[in-house]
Amino acid sequence: MPCQTCSEDRISRLPDGILCHILSFLDITETIKTSGLSHRWKDVWVSFPNLKFNVQNPESDKGRSAGFVDQVLSHSGSSSIQRFELVCYGVDDYFSRVHDWVCTALRRNVVELLLYLLPNPGKLYEFPQSLFMCKTLSVLKLRLQFDLIAIPSNSDCFPHLKILHVTVCCPNADSIKKLFSCCPALEDLVIDGLISKIAREERLLLSFTVSAPKLRRLRICLRGGAKNYVSININAPHLEKLDLFDNFLVDYELKNEKSLSTAKIAVQIHKRYQNDHLDNDYAARMHRLFAGIINVKYLSLSAPILRDSDPKFQHLLPTFYNLNHLEVLLKTCCSWKSLIKLLEISPNLENLVFENNVECYTADDNNELHEWCPPNIVPICLLSSLKSISVRGYKWRPDEMEVAKYMLEHGVVLKKVTVYTRSIPTEKQMELEQEFSKFPRASKTCQTELVELKAKG
């Protein structure tokens, strides 16, 4: 006969708060089923603070999923909601109900609100005004297949919102301006925009300002066509981390960014649009961007912006006195001068990571484009501060060998050089490795390591 201690239900004796935490690891449907375990569990789920719903198009489930949301919200009374997540397909078919669900979450002091709403083509959904005035809302993540509308231009909007992530299709200039200019407590902002095919057929002009006095992290990812022109002014005096990606060259201008320490810049322009963008306007835009991130200590650069054939732009580049770590993905065939230019404007650089010739958009691919021409003056960082170099995608080309030789020969304070190589025929590779090992070195303490990357099979 089992002892009383062994058969005792210790879990049921736990406080409601702990039981709700246990239930937070379950799906909402499984959570509700626990009400049948015993009398003690009957009403525990009612105060469950995290609600996640997936509402299907009425043609798919005949409205059963929407009815389930109504049932849960009605039975859970007026208890506070910590996190409310709603994925809704065919939102226009549930227009009034989605509006009510969001309002219910807001009335129950929701802290985190995540909405993924997909309407039928050509339909719009208007958010309740109470969303923008909610005083408990700290996290708002919107993933929308439509434009934002009816955003009030009110300085009291989002009084305590700290995290805002927005994914929107074909954004409207007026709504975007309002959305990102009324968040006094915002610390983390993500803007993910996709320009629809309809918008690509015409020239899209979009200009807005991100003004947030407490913003620390900003990520902007915009994808569109070559005809789009987007201008973004960023005024965030406490910004620390910046991550920018676009494929049609957004015109960024940063102001008052003295706290910015980390920046990742990626511009991926399709080769059919290269000639349209790599012009004086392109150089001016990139100069404005570089001037705005001049104080960074860590910079990751992946963009076809540093061309040997663009001396005007290279002359305009500012000096990055604080830059300590540089990662650069060079995307043109003739980019060695660009690498040298980056070293020249980084006099205190300590760590360098680079990969060359990831993509080649040059029509006439010949050996002359890959020639290495050492600069007349050795960059200061090679003589005084550069301690480590990592080279990725090393293919043992003659120009790459010359670059490695130059770095070792002039890197006075180098401590480590790591080269990640691509496999080539064994005999040839052994010959090149022996040649590499004999390169003269300015630093007696520098260690070199060749790491062969295995081909994916």
User: Is the pLDDT confidence value at 407 over 70?
Assistant: yes
User: Is the pLDDT confidence value at 148 over 80?
Assistant: no
User: Is the pLDDT confidence value at 89 over 90?
Assistant: no
What pTM value is reported for the model?
0.84
Kindly report which listed range (99-108, 145-154, 313-322, 326-335) carries the lowest average pLDDT score: 145-154
Q: pLDDT for 39-49, tens place per residue? A: 555 455 555 67
- The confidence score (pLDDT) of residue 346 equals 96
Most confident of 278-282, 302-306, 338-342: 338-342
**How much is the average pLDDT of 345-373?**
70
The contacts of residue 79 (CB under 8 Å, 6+ apart) are 46, 47, 49, 108
User: Is the pLDDT confidence value at 1 over 50?
Assistant: no
Most confident of 176-185, 273-282, 408-417, 428-437: 408-417
Distance, CA of 272 to CA of 265 (rounded, Å): 21
Ranges of beta strands (E only) in 98-198 are: 112-118, 139-144, 163-169, 188-194
CA distances from 1 to 7, 8, 9, 176 (A): 10, 14, 17, 70
How many CA atoms lie within 13 Å of 316's alpha carbon, on the beta-carbon side?
A: 18
265/91: higher pLDDT: 265
- The confidence score (pLDDT) of residue 329 equals 86
Residue 260 φ/ψ, nearest 5 degrees: -65, 120
**How much is the average pLDDT of 379-396?**
93
Average pLDDT, the chain: 78
- The confidence score (pLDDT) of residue 309 equals 45
- The confidence score (pLDDT) of residue 271 equals 54
If phi > 0 it is left, if psi is from -120 to 50 it is alpha, else beta; for residue 396 that is left
Kindly report which listed range (3-7, 68-72, 171-175, 427-431) carries the lowest average pLDDT score: 3-7
DSSP conformational letter for 57: P
The structure tokens listed for 368 are: 């002359």
How many CA atoms lie within 13 Å of 416's alpha carbon, on the beta-carbon side?
A: 8
Confidence of residue 140 (pLDDT cuts 50, 70, 90): very high
**How much is the average pLDDT of 378-390?**
96
Distance, CA of 343 to CA of 337 (rounded, Å): 10
**How much is the average pLDDT of 247-256?**
82
- The confidence score (pLDDT) of residue 30 equals 61
* Burial degree of 428 (CB within 10 A; 0-12, 13-18, 19+): exposed
23/215: higher pLDDT: 215
| Percent of the chain with pLDDT strictly greater than 70 | 68
Confidence of residue 368 (pLDDT cuts 50, 70, 90): very low
Cα 166–chain centre separation: 12
Confidence of residue 364 (pLDDT cuts 50, 70, 90): very low
User: Is the pLDDT confidence value at 167 over 50?
Assistant: yes
- The confidence score (pLDDT) of residue 365 equals 46
57/131: higher pLDDT: 131
Distance, CA of 436 to CA of 407 (rounded, Å): 12
The contacts of residue 188 (CB under 8 Å, 6+ apart) are 162, 163, 164, 165, 215, 216, 217
CB 241 within 8 A of CB 216: yes
For the chain, how far is it from start to end, CA to CA, in angstroms? 60
